[in-house]
Amino acid sequence: MLVYWLDILGTIVFAVSGVLLAGKLRMDPFGVLVLGVVTAVGGGTIRDMALDAGPVFWVKDPTDLVVAMVTCMITIILVRQPRRLPKWILPVLDAVGLAVFVGIGVNKAFASGAGPLVAVCMGVMTGVGGGIIRDVLAREIPMILRTEVYATACIIGGMVHVTAYSTFGMPLQQAMMLGMMITLGIRLAAIRWHLKLPTFTLEN
């Protein structure tokens, strides 16, 4: 039940993030709708294609699709020509969606019988997939390629989630909440204080 609402939450924030990014691109409302929906359901779609456990989630149950569409429409109507949006809005929304979807991705991977390593990968893929598609379509530099501990946050959050459950026997739901808190905390801290890891740079 908690997972259900978290899933709705992640869908909403990613849909909003897609719409806000689209606002930079002078698209018409239906184009904005497509970009928002793709951002919201993209990561889970790639995950389900890879797990190959039947049709992707929004074909089995279109709830998330409806939520994403309605969110996009409401956002388009409400946010139309607002006062200048603060710069932190898009990264913070993205951080919430990232944390939630990493956790859900890990759980779905466990539910289909995957081991710990594959579960972390599925979590990361679910979390970062939608945002990557959003950024590639919008020709932005994908967030995962930037330095502010983006991949780091979801890999660590996913590993905590998986370890707490597989190694320490924590109930799956609590392990998920713990992992989400860690992913979210790292990302928010990184956004607030511009934390960076040292970059890996070659002169080639």
Q: Give residues with Cβ within 8 angstroms of 40, minimum separation 6.
A: 10, 11, 12, 14, 15, 18, 64, 67, 68, 71, 97, 130
**Residue 128 found at the interface with its own copies (CB under 8 A):** yes
User: 96-115: which residues touch its own copies (CB under 8 A)?
Assistant: 112, 114-115
User: Can you tell me which of 4, 70, 89, 171 binds its own copies, judged by CB under 8 A?
Assistant: 89
**Residue 51 found at the interface with its own copies (CB under 8 A):** yes
Q: Give the torsion through C-alpha atoms of 11, 127, 180, 103, to 10 deg.
A: 90
Give me the least distance between CB of 9 and its own copies, in Å please: 21
User: Can you tell me which of 6, 15, 20, 178 binds its own copies, judged by CB under 8 A?
Assistant: 20
- Contact, 43 vs 158, CB < 8 A? no
User: Can you tell me which of 155, 180, 184, 191 binds its own copies, judged by CB under 8 A?
Assistant: 155
Residue range at the interface with its own copies (CB under 8 A); choices 41-49, 94-102, 160-168, 173-181: 41-49
- Contact, 72 vs 15, CB < 8 A? yes
Orientation of helix 63-78 relative to helix 29-51, angle to 10°: 150
Residue range at the interface with its own copies (CB under 8 A); choices 3-11, 93-101, 173-181, 194-202: 194-202
